[in-house]
Amino acid sequence: MSNNINNEDTRFMQRALELAQQAEAQGEVPVGAVLVLDGIIVGEGSNSPINSQDPSAHAEINALRMACKQVENYRLPQSTLYVSLEPCAMCAGALIHARVQRVVIAAKEPRAGAGGSIFNVLDDSRLNHRCDLEFGLLGEQSAAMLQAFFKQRRALAKQKAKQKKADQAK
């Protein structure tokens, strides 16, 4: 984690984790995002692709949509996004297009992260904009939430498969 993290960053990341918990309560992967401009939350979102039946309804996209409407501009220079999980390539591309200045990420996403884990879309010198990146703020808390969610989901899938097999044997 960088030395650029402060108490305000922690407060905004805590809000992102609250939004992640709300997503989990709705049966979504627990990811939350908060977009801040001049110290004020202008957009926030949680994952909702399942319930909205929209594959683009990731927490970051939902936060960007709200923020852009709030500031009445599709560009968000000088803004910071706080997100509980490293953005995917789609979300990273949207952050680049919106000109978000800084992205503070709690947990890395080793399977699809586009902030350096798999791809480095957020800080690619070939693009016309790059985001300043900070990793690890409340990362253990976010990772634990995600691990518990997927552990529970795997257990439910195993239970359903077992029940299906039992039903077929009847």
Active site residues: 60
Cβ pair 105, 83 in contact under 8 A: yes
Q: What is the bridge-based pairing of β-strands 79-85 and 40-46? A: unpaired
d(CA 100, CA 105): 13
Cβ pair 41, 14 in contact under 8 A: no
DSSP H or E stretch at residue 60:
helix 59-71
Helix (H, G, I), strand (E, B) or coil at 55: coil
Three-point CA angle 41, 43, 44, nearest 5°:
100
d(CA 84, CA 107): 6
d(CA 45, CA 66): 8
